[in-house]
Amino acid sequence: MIETNPILSVFDAILVVVDEVARRAYFVSNGLEFQMGLSAPMSWDLGTIGVLRFNDEGNCILFSAYPDRRLRCAPARAISPAASIRWRIRRSGTAAS
């Protein structure tokens, strides 16, 4: 599993350029530009939107595409970076927790 720092995340990042020769992907979010090295061919299309994750050194190491292109981060509803959201699938006939 890739270790990322939840505090160092950039939401609503849009993939704008892929340089296959240099093995780099370039993203834009809120007028800021970010880049990430590619260790393997990528499967995203230009315009894909998601969240960029950074390690403690500030290097962009992971891009997670949103499951729906219409999704956006809602800062007013954001939880603290130290907290997390956990999901559980309720099995038929059992109580949810």
Q: Is the confidence at residue 44, as pLDDT, over 60? A: yes
List all residues 6 or more positions away from 24 whose beta carbon is below 8 Å from its beta carbon.
Answer: 18, 35, 36, 37, 38
30 lies in a domain? yes
At 58-89, the pLDDT tens digits run: 888 889 898 877 777 766 555 554 444 333 33
Q: Is the pLDDT of residue 49 over 60?
A: yes
Residue 56 lies in a domain: yes
Q: What is the pLDDT of residue 40?
A: 84
DSSP letters, the chain, are: -----TTSEEEEEEEEEEETTTTEEEEEETTEEEEEE-SS---PPTT-EEEEEE-TTS-EEEEEE-SSTT----GGGPPPTT------PPPTTS---
Per-residue confidence (pLDDT) for residue 70, from 0 to 100: 74
Q: Which two tokens stand for residue 43?
A: 């499967």
Domain containing 31 — which CATH number? 2.40.50
Any idea which of 2-11, 35-44, 87-96 has the lowest mean pLDDT? Answer: 87-96
Residue 93 has what pLDDT? 52
User: Which pLDDT does position 43 carry in this prediction?
Assistant: 82
Task: Report the number of distinct structural domains present in the chain.
Answer: 1
Task: Answer yes or no: is 82 within a domain.
Answer: no
pLDDT in tens, 16-38: 999 989 999 999 998 999 999 99
